[in-house]
Every structure is written in structure tokens, then in C-alpha cells.
Chains A and B, each alone.
Chain A
Amino acid sequence: MNLFFREMKAARKSLILWCIGSFLMAASGMAKFEGLDSTGESLQQLVSTMPRSLQAVMGTGSLDLSTAVGYYGILFTYLLLMAAIHSLMLGAGIIAKEERGKTAEFLLSKPISRSRIMTAKLAAALVNVLIFNLVTFVFSVISVAKFAKTEDSISDLSLLMTGMFLVQLMFLAAGSGIAASGKKPKRAVSMGTALLLAAYILSIAIDLSQKLEFLQYLTPFKYFEAKRVLIDGGLDPVFILLSIGIVFILTIVAYISFNKRDIQV
């Protein structure tokens, strides 16, 4: 438990900064909605008949921009990106940090198994991710509710946030998996970032070209994207299973490789 609290404390400052970022995003993004609110429904209809590639370039997607939740969908893409970066940094940082700061020797010479260390660190990261998710949820509900006229936005938003949480878990697991199994933990953060940016770019590319649709399984950013979730009114079970599987496998990889790892000093 001491390790858990130590980790929580170490991450506190950055968590606060990330939450402020989420607040700014939610508040400022929704403020723009007022301006767009007046675009008539007929235009919305027109937009929905556009080919998907054009929708993507024009920045709307198939979201119904005349509703507050639909407009929030655009914002959600950025929030998802933020959440993913945050989780990845946490995941990659928990192991890389020790070797970088040469504190690995200190920690590992204590009477505590490596699995316990990993568990404590992952638990702390998980709580951080959860806090970020909840904070974002609260900010989102407040700012959407301010503009939503009639519709009930809470159910839609909680669906989106559940999706976001799964994406966070994937990147958290990916970060720790890379850091634990890579030869140089210092590189874990850059490798993870490269992976994340690649996944993000791929998700944009898929929007632009239907031919790439089959690649959507490769990028978590496509799993629970707003347009899919809001139109279906639920999370796709295939992607839920897929993400749980990914999280599971990567976490096991992280545990096993951390247990086998030669600690470098």
C-alpha cells in the first residue's frame, strides 16, 4: 500500500494539469456550439448524404451537429486523444521512471516481489485514469447540459465515457507492456508515443478512404468513436471484447517481462 500511495502522490501534479486540460477542452469546445447551433436541419440532412471522405475533410463526420451531444462528438475525438496520451504516459512511466531515476535498485532491494510492485503501480495508474475519466465525464455533462435543449444527454455521454475508459485501459496496458518488455525503458515513452500517433493518423486515414476500413481493428481510436457510438446507441460488442482481450494480453506481457527483466543501472 505504501508504494501505491507513493505512486499516487508522484502523479498528483500531472493529474491535476490533465484535469484542467480536460476542463478547458470541454468548456471552450462547447462554447463554440452556440455559433453552430443555427445551422438548419436541412443542412444537416445534406451533410449526412455526403460521402464519408468529404465529411472527414470538412471536419464533421456523420455526427448530427444540430444537437448538443452530436456537436460534443467532435470534441470527444480530442478528449479521447488527450486521454490516450495521458494513459500511455502513465503506463510507460511507471517502469521507465525507476530506471531513469536509478531508483530501481532501491525499490527492488526491498522485501517486496516484482509482481506486487507492478500491481501497486498499475493500481495507482488505474485510479489516475479513472479519476481523469470521471472528471472529464462531469465536465462534459455540465457543458453539454448547458446547451442541450430537450434531449437527455447523460446516457449518451456515459456510453462515450465507457468507451473512452476502455481506450484508456488499452493505452495504459500498452505503455506498461512496452516499458517492461523493451530493452531500453528510456525509449518506452517515445516508442509508445510513436505507436499512439500512428494509430491516430491511421484513424484519420480510415475516415478518408473506405478502402482502408478493414484496418479499423488496428487503431483503438476507431473502436468507440463518437459517430459510431451515438448512431448505434451502444458500444459495439466486438470492439468491447477486442479491447478487453488487448488489455488482458498486454497486462500479462507487462507482468511477465517485468518479472524476467534485468534491471539496468
Chain B
Amino acid sequence: MNIFLHELKVYRKSTIVWTLSLAAVLVLFMSMFPGLTKDAADFQKLLQGYPEPVRKAFGISLESITSLLGFYSYVFSYIVLCGCIQAMNLGVSILSKEAREKTADFLLTKPVTRSQVVSAKLLAAISSLIMTNIIFLAAAAMTTLSVSQKPFDMGTFLMISLSAFLVECMFLALGVLVAAVMSIKSVLPISLGTVFAFYILNMLGSVIGEKAVRYLTPFKYYDTAYIIRHASYEPRFIFIEALFIVIAVSASYIIYSKKDIHAV
């Protein structure tokens, strides 16, 4: 419990900064929604002069993306990206910090098992993420409600928002695993590099086939279009995520427990 509280305190400041930034970005973007709907309406008028098939093809994609949830999904993709950087950062730093700042000697000569150390740290990281997500969700709900002119499905909205946390958990687990395996000198380049690599992997889609890529990059696990259409997540991706997290976390426990902590 003491390690948990200590870790929470260590990451308190960065959690607050991340939370406020995420909320600020969302508020900034969502405040543009009324302007966007106006633009869209004007454009719809202009579309009238075009032949039927063009109008149809364009109208549908336009409508879905300029609907409240459609636009929210668009904005949300950037939020998920940032949230994942936060999660990966947390994951990498919680396990590598002691070795980097040379406090491992302090912590690991205390009467605790290494597993207890990992558990406390993991719990602190997850708590930080949960706190970020709760506050973000509140800010998002308030902004969305205040800019929407038409009613929208709150359940779907919540499901989309919650998917950020699910993706973040994967990056947290990945970060912890990376830190358990490697010795890390600087956290941010590792987490930025990894998160952006997965983000860019979306682009690779066309080469290895979109379907395969969906399994490779967590960013595609909870497709907002699917959520809007079915009001649910795709079960197989929940299963894959759970499997990945279980494997990564247990591997981290085992590796960290067996690791030699060298003198400085």
C-alpha cells in the first residue's frame, strides 16, 4: 500500500497535466462543431447541383462525419493517440525508474517481494489512467452536450469514450513489458517511438491488407464506425486484448522477479 501511494504521488503532477491537456484539446475541437455543421449545411445546398450518384456517395460520408458522434470520433482519434503516449510513458517509467534513478537498492532491500513491487506500481499506473479518463469523460460529456443541437445516443458516446481506456491499457502493458526486458535510459523516445510506430502502422494497411493490420495495431481494435453502427465492441478484439495483457503482464512479473539489479 505504501509503494502504491508513493507511486501515485510521483505521477500526480504528470497525470494532472495530461488530464487537463486532453480535456483542453477536446473542448477546443468540440467547440468548432457548430461552425462545422453550418459549413456542412451550406455544402449540402451546393451539392444539389450535382448528379444523383455523386450526391449520394458524398452525402452519406459527409453526414456521418459531420454528425455529432462522427465528429467526436474524428477528434477522439487524436485523444486516443495522446492517451496512449501517456499510458506507454507510465508503463515504461514505473518499472525502469528505480534502475535509472538508482533507487532500486533502496526499494528492493525493503521487506517486499518483487511481485509486490510490480503489483503496487501497476495499480498506481492504472489508477492514474482511470483518473485521467474519468475527468476527461466528464469534460467530454459536458462539452458534447452543450454543443449538440440534436439529441444523440449517450450509450454510444460512452462506449466510444471508454475505448480510449481499453487501448491505453494495452500500451500500459506493453510499456511495462518493455521496461522489464530492457534497461531504459530515457523513457519518452521509447514511448513516443512505439506509439507513433503503431499509429503509422495504419498506413501500412494497404500493403499487407487492411484486415491483417487491424489485428496488429491497437488503434484499430475499437473502430468508432463499428461502435456507432452496432453500439457494441467487437468481441474478438476484446478477447485479443485480454490475452495480450495477461501475457505481457505475467511475463513482466516473471522477468522482473528474476532480474539481477546491478550496482551503480
Contacts and interface: CB of A to CB of B under 8 A. Distances in A.
A53 B188 contact: no
A114 to B, nearest CB: 23
B78 to A, nearest CB: 7
Contacts of B36: 53-54, 57, 208
Interface in B54-98: 54, 58, 61-62, 65-66, 71, 74, 78, 82
Interface stretch (B4-12, B146-154, B169-177, B199-207): B199-207
Given A43-B54, A54-B66, A89-B189, A208 B32 contact: yes
A97 B188 CA distance: 13
A194 to B, nearest CB: 8
B43 A50 contact: yes
B226 interface: no
B235 interface: no
Nearest to B51: A42
Contacts of B43: 49-51, 54
B55 to A, nearest CB: 10
Most chain B CB within a 10 A radius of its CB, from A32, A54, A89: A54
A143 B204 CA distance: 14
Given A46-B58, A209-B32, A57 B204 contact: no
Q: Is the interface of B mostly helix, strand, loop or mixed?
A: helix
Contact of A205 (B17, B28, B50): B28
B62 A54 contact: yes
B203 A32 contact: yes
Given A31-B207, A82-B196, A101 B185 contact: yes
Contact of A21 (B82, B185, B197): B197
A5 interface: no
B71 A57 contact: yes
B223 to A, nearest CB: 16
A174 B144 CA distance: 35
A102 to B, nearest CB: 10
Contacts of B74: 57
Contacts of A263: none
B204 A24 contact: yes
B263 interface: no
Interface in A58-116: 58, 75, 78, 81-82, 85, 89, 93, 97, 100-101
Interface residues of A, number: 43
A57 B66 contact: yes
A193 B54 contact: no
Contacts of B61: 58
B227 interface: no
A101 B100 CA distance: 9
A205 B32 contact: yes
A197 B188 CA distance: 13
A25 interface: yes
Contacts of A24: 200, 204
Contact of B32 (A53, A189, A190): A53
A110 B36 CA distance: 60
B39 interface: yes
A189 B188 contact: yes
Given A46-B50, A208-B29, A193 B192 contact: yes
A101 B197 CA distance: 27
25 contacts: A17-B193, A21-B197, A25-B200, A28-B206, A31-B207, A32-B203, A32-B205, A34-B206, A42-B54, A43-B54, A46-B50, A46-B58, A51-B40, A53-B35, A53-B39, A57-B71, A58-B61, A58-B62, A78-B203, A85-B196, A89-B188, A194-B21, A197-B82, A204-B78, A208-B32
Given A31-B206, A53-B39, A189-B186, 19 more contacts: A17-B193, A21-B200, A24-B200, A28-B203, A32-B205, A32-B206, A49-B43, A51-B39, A51-B40, A51-B43, A54-B40, A57-B36, A57-B66, A57-B71, A75-B203, A82-B200, A93-B186, A208-B32, A211-B35
